[in-house]
Amino acid sequence: MTGRTVVVGVCGGVAAFKAAALVSALRREGAAVWVAVTRSGRRFVGEATFRALSHNPVLVDLWDPHGPDPEPHVALGERADLVVVAPATAHTLAKLAAGLADDPVCAVVLSTRAPVLLAPAMAESMWLHPATRRNVQALREMGYRFVGPTYGRLASGQEGWGRMAEPEEILKAARELLQPLPHG
């Protein structure tokens, strides 16, 4: 991953703590990592954590009057070789399927031409809901890639589908998306 730029989008869900491990793992592999966090994502893991782990400022607002870029979400989207959204909540999947860009994570995703890897995390009932299934299908048709969710213990304490993939699994999927294309 050396020489690659990865933007990690963090949305509001208990699995946001795994995003911190993912950012660390990406940095260990040599990637330049930038983080964008939704307002609800910051309720689970703070901006200071992601700034320390990524060694970069964290995008928490679409309009930073003190930042170097007038549209930081567009700058990050253009800079990215890969965008990973982990956790990708049902709310975020619906917004992306509809083309909405009203938070830092969705705005970066809609601004990029890089591959986008989504790591869903939600209650099983939300993952299996027909609206979520429709949104996932629409996102797949648009070229978005998915890793997980898996079956396991959820935030509720119950077992079911909707557990976010582990950081190692997300890292493996990210490596595969960043593989150079064969020449020929």
Query: Strands 159-163, 150-153: parallel, antiparallel or unpaired by DSSP?
Result: antiparallel
**Total-model pTM:** 0.93
Q: What is the mean pLDDT of residues 39-68?
A: 87
The model's pLDDT over 125-157, given as tens digits with 9 standing for 90+, comes to 999 999 999 999 999 999 999 999 999 988 888
Reading the block at residue 158, the tokens are: 């119950």
Element (H, E) at 48: helix 47-54
In order of their start, the domains of the chain are 5-177 (3.40.50.1950)
The model's pLDDT over 8-52, given as tens digits with 9 standing for 90+, comes to 999 999 999 999 999 999 999 999 999 999 999 999 999 999 999
